[in-house]
Amino acid sequence: MTKLQKDHLMILLESIDSKVQASFESFSIVNNKIDNFRDEIKEDIAILDCKIMGLSERVDAVEKNLTARISEVDKKLSDRIDEVDKKLSDRIDEVDKKLSDRIDEVDKKLSDRIDEVDKKLSDRIDAVYDELVAHRNNTEQHTPQTKRTLKNVKMST
């Protein structure tokens, strides 16, 4: 190789060396940026994890509170339903007793009235019967008995 070629090769090598050095520096800068971005992402993820944990705790507290409130309202409503059921049952029993007593009273009055009317009608029927028997006996004593003659009636066939 000639000196000129050597010089030319050296210039090329220096040029390549400077380009490799520049590439290495660029790679180093990009690597640092990636590391910084990774660190920032880790911090953001850690912050989000904390926020999610806080929200999860709040959701758990709200769920616990609502469950307790639902149980409380359920108990109050069940107690109230039982109270209303008892009052209505008592009232129904009271009305049933009053109506049964009233029905028995009306039944007794109507039965007594029917017995009274039956007695009066029986007495009147007996009196009318006695009068008819007496009248017939009286009529039979005063009228002579006559024989009745039957007419001959021809039947057509």
Cα(4)–Cα(10) distance, integer angstroms: 10
pLDDT in tens, 71-116: 999 999 999 999 999 999 999 999 999 999 999 999 999 999 999 9
- 3-class SS of residue 154: coil
pLDDT in tens, 110-147: 999 999 999 999 999 999 999 998 888 888 776 666 66
Q: Which two tokens stand for residue 46?
A: 């850690």
Mean pLDDT score across all residues of the chain? 90
The whole-model pTM stands at 0.44
pLDDT at 7: 85
pLDDT at 5: 86
CA atoms within 13 A on the CB side of 19: 6
Query: Which region, left, alpha or beta, applies to residue 152 given φ > 0 means left and ψ of -120 to 50 means alpha?
Result: beta
